[in-house]
Amino acid sequence: MQKRLGPTAVVTSRHFLIPSPLASYSCHASTLVQLPSGDILVAWFAGSEEGAADTAIWGARCVSGHWHDPVLLADSSNLPHWNPVLFRSRSGTLFLFYKVGFDTRSWKTMVRVSNDDGVNWSIPKELVAGNIGGRGPSKNKPLELPDGTILAPGSSEQFLSPQSRVQRWEAFVDRSQDAGATWSLVSIPMNYDVLSGAEQFGAEGIIQPSLIYDSGEVIAFLRSTEGFVYRSRSIDAGRQWSLAKPLCVPHNNSGIDAALIGRTIYLVLNPVSDTSGSPSRTPLCVMSSRDRGDTWQLVRTLENTPGEYSYPAVIAVGSSLLLTYTWQRLNIVYCRLQIEDDEVDVF
């Protein structure tokens, strides 16, 4: 007798959030949160194209299984908007973080908060006054630890020098111990001497961490320029991080996100290593690990036809994964996966 290990997933709900996308419309970088009422709130940026001055932050809400039409959540005049992140603290504050600026080097991180789960929002303000380059979460949701510390997974993308044509990608975690009022940055270390992504991407390094917390340890999974997902760990609530190192998971330098159900980590990504210079963003898959990321199994392929299916966001609700992702830059898909643990005796 032996064990057959590895969860499977059944899609129990799937929905396009934009009812009638236009040919001149582009959307990307979604985020989601489930509220105590059971409502689901999703946000993304959209406009004529990524980086255009008319991009803004939009959102849609699901109430009792019915998705309402998108509404405008944030729009600063004549500035591109990027990478919204939704997060609800245990104290009941709902945060909407997002970037504004014409490129990643000039990003400012803005934040709005709501104390009634998104019915009303505060006036936008800078998360860290005067910062250029972006503090706080760069793509993925913050993590609240048992002691109330909030960890926001962030990154920066800056040129090595004014004359350089190569960007240095650096990951960090912003820590807040006062419910998000102030933040302190802790870098995730990386050995930049061994990287090779500069020629292909014009950049080298790691960005956009995704955080999970398991039995006192915080684990960061990171997007990289190196063809593989990277991992870093902290055993002191995010005050210090181990050197980021590659995992066995192929990766195409696109967005990833992770969630935890029980002791199983679920990672959503495009698991392909593409060195052609035009990284493929298909297929989009869910993978799982029961050993904190050392080994992985395929759980479900969400998309596998030609096109772009990217920048997933995922949260765990009971034994389900709720996730959103970019669909061909024309729409945002929401889906719910019911996880079925198929650890059985095999004779």
Report the alpha-carbon distance of residue 137 to residue 328 in Å, rounded. 24
pLDDT tens per residue, range 314-335 = 999 999 999 999 999 999 999 9
DSSP string, 37-96: TS-EEEEEEEESSTT-TT-EEEEEEEETTEEPPPEEEE--TT--EEEEEEEE-TTS-EEE
Share of the chain above pLDDT 90, in %: 87
pLDDT tens per residue, range 185-244 = 999 999 999 998 888 888 999 999 999 999 999 999 999 999 999 999 999 999 999 999
Q: How far is CA 343 from the centre of its chain?
A: 29
Q: Which domain range does residue 318 map to?
A: 1-24+252-347
Tokens at residue 340, please?
């079925």
Question: Which of helix, strand or coil describes residue 201?
Answer: helix
Does 61 map to a domain? no
pLDDT tens per residue, range 276-285 = 545 579 999 9
Task: State the average pLDDT over residues 154-166.
Answer: 86
Report the alpha-carbon distance of residue 191 to residue 193 in Å, rounded. 6
Report the alpha-carbon distance of residue 71 to residue 74 in Å, rounded. 9
In the numeric block, the tokens 């009022």 are attached to: 181
Task: State the average pLDDT over residues 299-315.
Answer: 97
For residue 128, give Cα distances in angstroms to 133, 157, 167, 206, 301. 11, 17, 23, 22, 39
For residue 331, give Cα distances in angstroms to 82, 326, 338. 16, 6, 23
Report the alpha-carbon distance of residue 143 to residue 210 in Å, rounded. 9
Give the predicted TM-score (pTM) of the model.
0.95
Tokens at residue 101, please?
């600026």
Helices within the chain (DSSP H only): 198-201
Residues belonging to the chain = 347
The pLDDT-based confidence of 81 (bands split at 50, 70, 90) is very high
pLDDT for 347 beyond 80:
no
Residues 160 and 167: beta-carbon distance below 8 Å: yes
Does 189 map to a domain? no
pLDDT tens per residue, range 239-280 = 999 999 999 999 999 999 999 999 999 999 999 986 454 557
Does 9 map to a domain? yes
Instruction: Give pLDDT, residue 1.
Output: 40
Tokens at residue 317, please?
């609700």
pLDDT tens per residue, range 1-52 = 445 467 999 999 999 999 987 667 899 999 999 999 999 999 999 999 999 9
Does 317 map to a domain? yes
The pLDDT-based confidence of 346 (bands split at 50, 70, 90) is very low
Does 306 map to a domain? yes
The pLDDT-based confidence of 159 (bands split at 50, 70, 90) is confident
Does 319 map to a domain? yes
pLDDT for 181 beyond 60:
yes
Contacts for 287 with CB less than 8 Å, ≥ 6 apart: 249, 266, 267, 268, 269, 271, 296, 297, 298, 299
Does 217 map to a domain? no
Instruction: Give pLDDT, residue 305.
Output: 95
Does 318 map to a domain? yes
pLDDT for 164 beyond 90:
no
Tokens at residue 115, please?
């104390």
Task: State the average pLDDT over residues 95-124.
Answer: 97
Contacts for 68 with CB less than 8 Å, ≥ 6 apart: 60, 61, 62
Instruction: Give pLDDT, residue 326.
Output: 98
Query: How many independent structural domains does the chain possess?
Result: 1
Residues 66 and 81: beta-carbon distance below 8 Å: no
Report the alpha-carbon distance of residue 219 to residue 292 in Å, rounded. 8
Count CA atoms closer than 13 A to 38's CA, side-chain side. Answer: 4
